[in-house]
Amino acid sequence: MNIALIAHDKKKDDMIKLALAYRNILKNHNLYATGTTGKRIIEETGLKVTRFKSGPLGGDQQIGAFVSEDKIDMVIFLRDPLTPQPHEPDVSALIRLSDVYEIPLATNIGTGELLLRGLGEGFLDWRNAHHLCSRL
């Protein structure tokens, strides 16, 4: 599975906690992240992550493009709802595209944990069937 991990600055510590707690599940998947989130995950968890640009510099849009190309199976985007973001339109666009393509999306650590547990239990295996069908 291809998983996108993104966190606003005040939520980055939560992302690290989540990634450490579910490291054994995440290590079996392809991880993608916006620039700074990815840097921290790599440094603090040892997980392998493909990094895009930083969010405010276009990283959210790059991940959105992957979503639109069916290259992302799950998005965990720990948003900070209390701090205005200069790139708010990009944030909304990524969330919108995840809904357009019906990609499981978590915007807080509680739902993020549920998605990762579900991933470990195989609840997202339908995405593999979906990929097989789209290739026919």
Ligand X SMILES: O=C(CO)COP(=O)(O)O
Whether the Cβ atoms of residue 103 and residue 74 lie closer than 8 Å to each other: yes
Site size toward ligand X, by CB under 6 A: 13
59 vs 104 by CB, closer to ligand X: 59
Instruction: Read off the tokens for 110.
Output: 């509680």
| CB distance 36 to 87 below 8 Å | no
Decide: is 6 part of the binding site for ligand X (CB under 6 A).
yes
**What's the distance, CA 119 to chain centroid?**
13
Interaction between residue 58 and ligand X (CB under 6 A): no
Residue 111 Cβ, how far from ligand X at the closest point, in Å? 17
Residues of the shown chain interacting with ligand X in the complex, contacts defined by CB under 6 A:
6, 8, 34-37, 54-56, 59-60, 87, 91
